[in-house]
Structure 1
């Protein structure tokens, strides 16, 4: 595997496009996801200045003289902007006075608009680009084009795969954080992930929220990892942790703001219902989730291991990554109705077209695995593009009108070439091997 620092990032094109027409561009994402490396790549040959607010001297200068700190005739790149939110008003004043595009390139490891101390944070002047840990396609040099392909081809999409259950398990526990993927030794990788989570709690969470009891927060992280890709019921967390519901809500908000977890909202055509539906929770990096419950790739394959929930969380996070660069502008949610019909992932584009996705850890599937997808198809009619059960087998199989079983690896192994191949009469669409 090549060095993580040399792996091209798919969102680089979005950052370059934003710098061409927007005054301030923010690259937001988890710590050590590769934001600083991406800034160096994007800045390239541009005349640019660089400052890092994780350095005490830079942070002190920013706090002492915000206006002077951001005074630059060239592109100014500022890492970890959440460390000195006082700069935001100075940046706003600078870009209002000189509205040229590409003035500032910021990075942040916390959701900027969630910062307690953030003032009027550049409305209409800034574009945010999310950077996730490496996707499987970035790590493997594959196209990462499933979302665009499935909306373009629907049930005509085909994919064959040689990826085994053991390989899927290994991918889950490896995750995508650059430092973790560069460590071949399992124990060394686990030590990094343990220290990573603890550092987030010790530094970033306490910066964002008045949380004093770090032990409770670490216990919550482990509990969430054990319930990955499930609907989080506040009352069950109250019982398990002995904390009040407002306290748990505050902790969850902090974990989401530092990009450790992500909530997947419930789907409904009724916007009011969608806003109040219970979300699912997934970890931004599957390696962290696996590490928090102390399972390795071999252990995941044993009977009774949480392979299914971690695989679903892995798939949901890969879809989330892909939505940051796909041509299709779609939203990711999950479906559950009062009759307990469920669909793990619902992708709805701006035209109201929907792709439903179920995730199964088994290497075989049957008609019952499509129960929720059939219900979704009945509700949506012609707006239902197709329903896919992603499983750990190797072939694409039909299960009725617009319903297919497909290998999980389709997520990263299909791409634009598959769409072009399908457009050629008489040719079968297959993903890269």
Structure 2
């Protein structure tokens, strides 16, 4: 499976290059951005620069000269967050020649990179987010259990056995803390960041109490939020916003926190295999986060949130787009039983559809308008092509 490329990602990148002078691929490190880029570049007159390589970075010492020399072909810049000052030269070059498909830009940090691109490349760039492997992309090569346990990073998912997969993820965590965070110019105490990351694994699927979490870490709340921001911007953590609705109920207003890759979560929790995972007290929260990430990746134009009332009624995921509203409940059971509170909220939210996602064998209608189905069926129904 090494080098395997999902057609969906390849097609999306081809479309982006055909409509804009520059395409930006964002996503966590080691998720396959470089592999995808090299595959696209192979048949083209293109130059690839890895900005982690000092020799490649040196070629951009005089960026105007370099860009003029390669104006006829496609230029790919990998790990652009390491050279953010290059965006101004890139804007000037694009304005000289705005034909589509001139630049392919890869980055492993989201917010700062997007800010730079929006400030200097507005109207010139098409942005894509590449996730680790999705169930639909590897369904013919592995099963959902393996993907859930190992996560979607290619080298973890494709490892020879569970031990090799765990070792890769432990190395990934160590490298991220020791090399990637400092490479972003962030002067953060690495032992503290590692402790926070491991602590967050135990908070999977919980609402964030910043004061309590800061107290456990012996940090101020602003410092804690800064550290969480780093993990969020580098695609390690997701803060799922609370749903904003006038339901005449007291609603929880704090976000929920999830480690985005289930394999990284399991490595931090020292979970080795599927049997170990099923016996772990956080197996339900792990399943919930795994399903949410899969859905959000295939529904990029929808706005996600969760809803929890003061008396404990909850909807795991509310997706909105324009006037459309979808509701998802996530259960790890062959015979899921949604709560009465869920049924009440479905009615009050006036959802267009309500779905319970569980590892069932066959989809069925649980109650009028509420369907139970497995993750693959839900993706097939709601995922965007």
What's the TM-score, normalizing by structure 1? 0.80
The residue aligned with 1:263 is 239
Shift of 1:404: 1.9
Deviation per CA, 1:72-110: give whole Å up to 9, x if none. 221111111111112111101101121112111110011
The residue aligned with 2:319 is 347
Q: Residue 11 and residue 118 in structure 1: after superposition, are their counterparts in 2 closer, same or farther (change >3 A)?
A: closer
Q: Which has the higher contact order (CA 8 A, sep 6+)?
A: 1
Shift of 1:371: 3.2
Runs of 4+ in 1 over 6 A off after TM superposition: 115-119
Return the match for 2:63 from 66, 84, 90: 66
The residue aligned with 1:335 is 307
Q: What is the Cα-based RMSD across aligned positions, in Å?
A: 2.6
SS in 2 for 1:212: coil
Distance 1:119 1:199 in 2: 29
Asked if the contact 1:356/1:387 (under 8 Å) is kept, the reply is yes
SS in 2 for 1:11: helix
Structure 2 counterparts to residues 16-415 of structure 1, below 5 A = 16-62=14-60, 64-71=61-68, 72-73=70-71, 74-111=73-110, 113=112, 120-141=119-140, 169-208=145-184, 210-269=186-245, 277-296=253-272, 297-302=274-279, 305-324=281-300, 329-350=301-322, 352-366=323-337, 369-381=338-350, 384-412=351-379, 414=380
Distance 1:229 1:109 in 2: 24
Distance 2:116 2:302 in 1: 31
SS in 1 for 2:59: helix
Distance 1:311 1:256 in 2: 20
Q: Residue 348 and residue 120 in structure 1: after superposition, are their counterparts in 2 closer, same or farther (change >3 A)?
A: closer
Q: Residue 112 and residue 104 in structure 1: after superposition, are their counterparts in 2 closer, same or farther (change >3 A)?
A: farther
Shift of 1:112: 5.3
Q: Residue 408 and residue 116 in structure 1: after superposition, are their counterparts in 2 closer, same or farther (change >3 A)?
A: closer
Distance 1:188 1:331 in 2: 37
Deviation per CA, 1:254-273: give whole Å up to 9, x if none. 11111111222122247xxx
What's the TM-score, normalizing by structure 2? 0.90
Shift of 1:251: 0.6
Shift of 1:340: 2.8
The residue aligned with 1:273 is none
Distance 1:361 1:292 in 2: 21
SS in 2 for 1:253: helix
